[in-house]
């Protein structure tokens, strides 16, 4: 089984941008910079522009755009071409829902033909003791304010309209197959997480967190994803990013947060993992897509077969035991500074939060899956010094309104 899981994980391991051919501008914040840093002088790029990579340096890629060359942040370009934003959940009369129900039935019949037990059948259908899709569907149904940056918060009306348009106006585009595959697997990993930890069904708190995430995601290159942030009940201090845009905070971690900029920094870190494809890229593969083809489905129609479950085992192990590579965690820290500051938050939020954690008890699970906090803070201080906040009007801090909603 372990060999099988490694086989499927290998299908979507990430490569460098240099090996991919063109990258595409997917953020209104993208500029052709004179140097590999966000504060450098630059020329605004247009949404959808195709750029030819030349070299890479940290979170920046040197590109050629027509007859010019310069640097652009990886946070604002994507190896995936422009595609429409995926909508979480499907209606009962959609073609995918029909296919999902049929495939769920087919898998159950196959399980019965092979003499599998009822428990094994439930595992195949995603309804056993490994997944909680019901709680995930609740999270997907929570309404929140979609990304918009008002002029009073330091961003002009034209850019505000541009952000909104980039998210919702591409109705002529299809949802990319790669995006569908990523979300399908990410939903299942999220459902596993929610089976381990109960979700906090506080609509106001969840809506607030998702509004912040929407603002941060709006400046990134992942316009194809519908990000969702949920709160899980656990005294452990940790946060988790699943493929496809699913982010979870433990109640223990939220209790340590003092300001909205700290909250934005942590959300930016987790979104950074997703934007930078730290879970790998989900290339279109007939075999792999066939395995996952029923996961976006109406209640009771989620399908998780043994092969997909093996890949999820490896991802789950990374979340709770091994953690990501140190290099990837430090990249996500740098991404947090870039994304949060571009969205109108103080760039020092994440380092302030990590400073609090460095003096806190009960951080064993956090330390187990993350690099040394002292090293992270030192690197963040250096990165923060390169971010210009001149003429920036920071977003009003509302965290004090919501923090009391957490149980003591």
- Tokens found for residue 342: 């571009």
CA angle 74, 80, 81 (to 5 degrees): 115
Q: Which residue has the higher pLDDT, 218 or 385?
A: 218
User: Residue 307's pLDDT is what?
Assistant: 63
Domain boundaries, given as residue ranges, for the chain: 95-405
3-state DSSP assignment of residue 201: coil
Q: What percent of the chain has pLDDT over 90?
A: 52
pLDDT one-digit tens code per residue, 13-38: 444 555 567 999 999 999 999 999 99
pLDDT one-digit tens code per residue, 50-104: 999 999 999 999 999 888 999 999 999 999 999 999 988 654 444 444 444 555 5
Where residue 290 falls among pLDDT bands split at 50, 70, 90?
A: very low
Task: Classify each residue of 377-389 as buried b or exposed e, where b means 16 or more C-beta atoms within 10 Å of its C-beta.
Answer: bebbeebbeebee
In 276-392, which residue ranges form alpha helices assigned H by DSSP?
286-292, 306-317, 326-342, 349-358, 364-369, 373-384
Rounded to two decimals, the pTM is 0.83
Q: Length of the chain in residues, anyone?
A: 408
Would you say 59 and 334 are in contact if contact means Cβ atoms under 8 Å apart?
yes
Where residue 388 falls among pLDDT bands split at 50, 70, 90?
A: confident
Q: What is the DSSP string of 351-381?
A: HHHHHHHHT-S--HHHHHHS--HHHHHHHHH
User: Residue 362's pLDDT is what?
Assistant: 75
Q: Which residue has the higher pLDDT, 139 or 154?
A: 139
3-state DSSP assignment of residue 119: helix
Interval 102-109 mean pLDDT = 54
Sequence-separated (6 or more) residues with CB below 8 Å from residue 51: 22, 23, 24, 25, 45, 63, 64, 65, 72, 77
User: Residue 146's pLDDT is what?
Assistant: 83
pLDDT one-digit tens code per residue, 329-363: 999 999 999 999 999 999 999 999 999 998 888 78
């Amino acid at each position: 089984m372990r060999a099988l899981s490694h086989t499927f994980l290998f299908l979507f391991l990430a490569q460098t941008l240099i090996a991919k051919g063109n990258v595409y501008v997917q953020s209104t914040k993208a500029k052709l910079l004179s140097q590999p840093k966000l504060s450098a002088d630059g020329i605004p790029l247009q949404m959808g522009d195709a750029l030819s990579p030349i070299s890479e340096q940290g979170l920046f890629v040197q590109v050629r755009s027509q007859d010019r060359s310069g640097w652009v942040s990886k946070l604002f370009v994507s190896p995936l071409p422009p595609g429409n934003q995926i909508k979480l959940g499907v209606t009962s009369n959609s073609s995918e829902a029909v296919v999902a129900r049929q495939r769920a039935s087919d898998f159950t019949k196959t399980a019965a033909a092979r003499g599998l037990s009822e428990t094994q059948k439930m595992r195949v259908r995603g309804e056993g003791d490994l997944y909680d899709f019901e709680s995930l569907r609740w999270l997907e149904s929570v309404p929140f304010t979609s990304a918009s940056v008002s002029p009073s918060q330091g961003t002009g009306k034209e850019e505000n309209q541009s952000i909104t348009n980039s998210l919702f106006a591409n109705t002529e585009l299809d949802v990319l197959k790669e995006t569908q595959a990523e979300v399908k697997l990410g939903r299942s990993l999220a459902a596993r997480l929610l089976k381990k930890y109960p979700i906090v069904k506080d609509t106001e708190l969840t809506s607030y967190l998702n509004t912040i995430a929407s603002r941060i995601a709006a400046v990134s290159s992942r316009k194809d994803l519908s990000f969702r942030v949920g709160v899980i009940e656990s005294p452990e201090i940790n946060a988790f990013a699943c493929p496809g845009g699913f982010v979870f905070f433990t109640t223990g971690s939220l209790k340590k947060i003092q300001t909205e900029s700290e909250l934005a920094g942590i959300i930016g870190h987790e979104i950074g993992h997703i934007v930078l494809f730290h879970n790998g890229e989900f290339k279109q593969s007939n075999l792999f897509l066939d395995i996952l083809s029923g996961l976006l489905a109406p209640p009771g129609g989620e399908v998780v077969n043994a092969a997909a479950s093996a890949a999820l085992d490896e991802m789950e192990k990374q979340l709770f035991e091994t953690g990501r590579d140190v290099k990837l965690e430090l990249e996500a820290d740098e991404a947090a500074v870039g994304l949060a500051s571009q969205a109108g938050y103080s760039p020092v939020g994440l380092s302030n939060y990590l400073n609090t954690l460095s003096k806190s008890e009960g951080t064993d699970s956090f330390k187990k899956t993350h690099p040394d906090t002292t090293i992270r803070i030192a690197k963040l201080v250096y990165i923060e010094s390169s971010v210009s906040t001149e003429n920036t009007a920071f977003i009003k801090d509302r965290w004090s309104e919501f923090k009391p909603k957490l149980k003591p």
